[in-house]
Amino acid sequence: MILFFENRYVAALRVRKQESGFDVRWMLVHFRREMAFADVFAEMMENPTPRMRRLEQLLENRSAAEFEQQAGQAQLITRRNFGKTMRLFAPLYVSNECVNNCQYCGFSRDSGILRTTLTVEQVVTEAKFLHDQGFRNILLVAGEHPKFVSEGYLQKCLDALKSWVPTLALEVGPMEHPQYQEMVHHGAEGLVVYQETYHRETYQTLHTAGPKKHFDWRLNCPERAYAAGFRRIGVGALFGLANWRFEAMALCAHLDYLYKNCWKAQFTVAFPRMRPYAGNYQYQPDPERTLPDRALVQLITAFRILFPQIGIVLSTREPSAFRDAVAPLGITHMSAGARTEPGGYTGAGSDDLHLTVRGRRVELETKTAGQKATEQFQIHDQRSMQEIAAMLRRQGIDPIWKDWDPALLAAPEESLFFVNQS
């Protein structure tokens, strides 16, 4: 009976489409709220939402004047929504062990790199270093390895940091909903999970081993994180793996979906570009897939116009001159003084370096002084946090170290009202 009415409804809409140009499939996609993003992704790419169609226009080749006008609009929207501020954060790599083989990453299972997993005490040492520098927003990053980054490890790290680091986020292997709930319970308030590439075939080619092979499992990760209570969720694609326009449209589709279905969370988006990495320090961007500087600026400004309140992240993968130039145009979050290896800030864990072969630890035959764990990729902007903060101030942008405190959730409503009025 339900099916009968559904069909009648669709038939009626079809008639309406013929009369008015109304898109039935688009409506069906967007009213199936109970479906996960992986279920509707392909249809959304075939039948773009109004916002995706607008993105297409904003990414068209633009004259210099149009380009400048788009940048000006993005800058204005950013100021209106975020003021002249920039949230600074630092990644803290806790482990470079991984069971996955991702063909663009130095931590891949089959890479013969120097590996280590920091002890909880060493994680605290690294975090203290960052805290002394001024950071109050730390992103804990780990490869995916159930043996080394084992059950309970991340929870212990969070427990050791949460009383003095107000903003803790995770960039780790995707988890099930109950595990995410546990992370939130232990003090993680943000989760970053980039799809790497939204192009399904390319994804299959690049992920040859490990749980990361499962495209849909990763695609639905932000929804699982939202359901588990994460307050901030970061999505993105690694640009350079597939056609950048396709990735941009897919990201827009993903955000469109998340805005409608996970509307209580704050979202951030990032457009990281491939960098040389362990095992491929000679990496040269594929001209067919590369995201040129001008297109990246267009992307940043387009997403700012389409999603006025979204956080846009720009990391130290980008060269300093580029970061300085785009800082006022839509960016709200920047990493600074970043290292991409465990122990990168203090040298912690360098006494435990080893190789990992087929999941087993293999001791080094020789150890040399000053040896460090291998980095995930080469950063481009090598400036210190102080230099980045000074650059922002020169541009009239206030560096923000802390924009959240868990106590806010516990505060009575009247006192928040009082704060807002003062």
Residues that bind ligand SF4 (CB under 6 A): 98, 100, 102, 105, 107-108, 143-144, 212
Shortest distance, CB of residue 376 to ligand SF4, whole angstroms?
7
Shortest distance, CB of residue 414 to ligand SF4, whole angstroms?
45
* C-alpha–C-alpha distance, residues 55 and 255, integer Å: 12
* C-alpha–C-alpha distance, residues 188 and 211, integer Å: 23
Q: Which is nearer to ligand SF4, 86 or 105 (CB)?
A: 105
Shortest distance, CB of residue 336 to ligand SF4, whole angstroms?
22
Residue 285 has, within 13 A of its CA and on its CB side, a CA count of 17
Shortest distance, CB of residue 237 to ligand SF4, whole angstroms?
13
* C-alpha–C-alpha distance, residues 334 and 309, integer Å: 16
* C-alpha–C-alpha distance, residues 301 and 66, integer Å: 12
Shortest distance, CB of residue 98 to ligand SF4, whole angstroms?
3
Strand 360-362 relative to strand 355-357, pairing: antiparallel
DSSP state of 329: G
Shortest distance, CB of residue 207 to ligand SF4, whole angstroms?
7
Q: Which is nearer to ligand SF4, 195 or 301 (CB)?
A: 195
Cα dihedral sign for 305, 307, 311, 317? negative
Query: Residue 321 contacts by C-beta under 8 Å, 6 or more apart in sequence?
Result: none
* C-alpha–C-alpha distance, residues 149 and 215, integer Å: 22
Please choose, from the candidates 388, 330, 395, 343, the residue with its C-alpha nearest in 3D space to the C-alpha of residue 370.
Answer: 343
Contact 54, 308 (CB under 8 A): no
Shortest distance, CB of residue 81 to ligand SF4, whole angstroms?
31
Q: Which is nearer to ligand SF4, 102 or 221 (CB)?
A: 102
Q: Token pair of 155, please?
A: 């929870």
HEC profile for 233-283? Answer: EEEEECECCCCHHHHHHHHHHHHHHHHHHCCCCEEEEECCECCCECCECCC
**DSSP secondary structure, 158-223, as one string:** HHHHTTT-SEEEEE-S---HHHHHHHHHTT--EEE---B---HHHHHHHEEESGGG-HHHHHTHHH
**DSSP secondary structure, 103-156, as one string:** TT-TT-TT----B-B--HHHHHHHHHHHHHHT--EEEEEE---TTTS-TTHHHH
Q: Which is nearer to ligand SF4, 194 or 226 (CB)?
A: 194
Q: Which is nearer to ligand SF4, 82 or 107 (CB)?
A: 107
Radius of gyration (C-alpha) of the chain in whole angstroms? 22
Shortest distance, CB of residue 99 to ligand SF4, whole angstroms?
8
* C-alpha–C-alpha distance, residues 257 and 265, integer Å: 13
HEC profile for 345-359? Answer: CCCCCHHHCEEEECC
Shortest distance, CB of residue 141 to ligand SF4, whole angstroms?
8
Query: Residue 196 contacts by C-beta under 8 Å, 6 or more apart in sequence?
Result: 102, 104, 203, 206, 207, 218, 237, 238, 241
Shortest distance, CB of residue 320 to ligand SF4, whole angstroms?
25
Q: Which is nearer to ligand SF4, 144 or 247 (CB)?
A: 144
Q: Which is nearer to ligand SF4, 51 or 213 (CB)?
A: 213
Contact 377, 416 (CB under 8 A): no
Shortest distance, CB of residue 362 to ligand SF4, whole angstroms?
18
